[in-house]
Amino acid sequence: MSTDKNPTEEGYFAKIEAEEKAKALAALAEEKARAARAELQARHAGRCGKCGGAMAPRDFKGVEIDVCDDCGSALLDPGELETLAGKDASGALAGLAALFKFKGK
């Protein structure tokens, strides 16, 4: 009786090993992407998306918005546009708001 493995058995184990390696590589890539997103968020937290200046909270019509100290750009959090603009009977504002909906994770 021979102790050599069957070629189909070797192929099976090679396939399983390749699948496990691919899963491990995918998990590693996902973790690297998650770490890169977290680092990017930490680096840009409180900064203007237009010029990189510091954002400061300001009260505007009862809503706290973030305004850039350098260029004056305003950042509205989800729902603040609707709060500031009020109800729009024409639906134009709803379309504009839908365009800028926040899709965070």
Whether 86 maps to a domain, the answer reads yes
Claim to verify: residue 31 and residue 66 sit in the same structural domain: no
Instruction: Tell me the residue range of the domain where 61 lies.
Output: 55-99
Evaluate whether residue 66 is within a structural domain: yes
* pLDDT band per the 50, 70, 90 thresholds, residue 105: very low
Q: Is residue 25 part of a domain?
A: yes
Q: Are residues 6 and 39 in the same domain?
A: yes
**For residues 74 and 50, is the Cβ–Cβ distance under 8 A?**
no
Please indicate, yes or no, if residue 68 is contained in any of the structural domains: yes
Residue 1 DSSP label: -
Whether the pTM exceeds 0.75: the reply is: no
In this prediction, residues 76-96 reach a mean pLDDT of: 72
Give the model confidence (pLDDT) of 13-72 as tens digits: 999 999 999 999 999 999 999 999 898 888 778 888 888 888 999 988 888 889 998 898
Q: What is the dihedral of CA 94, 98, 102, 103, to 10 degrees?
A: 150
**Which pair of structure tokens corresponds to residue 4?**
């050599």
Rounded Cα–Cα distance for residues 18 and 81 (Å): 50
The total domain count for the chain is 2
User: Does 64 share its domain with 37?
Assistant: no
Q: How far apart are CA 34 and CA 38, in angstroms?
A: 6
Neighbouring-strand partners of residue 47: 54
Kindly state the DSSP code that residue 53 receives in the 8-state scheme. Answer: P
Longest distance between any two alpha carbons in the chain, whole Å: 88
Which helix (H) or strand (E) covers residue 8, if one does? helix 7-44
Are 60 and 38 part of one and the same domain?
no
pLDDT at 29: 95
26 in the same domain as 2: yes
Give the residue-averaged pLDDT of 84-101.
67
Within a domain: 36 = yes
Residue 105 lies in a domain: no
1 shares its domain with 41: yes
Do residues 64 and 89 both lie within one domain?
Answer: yes
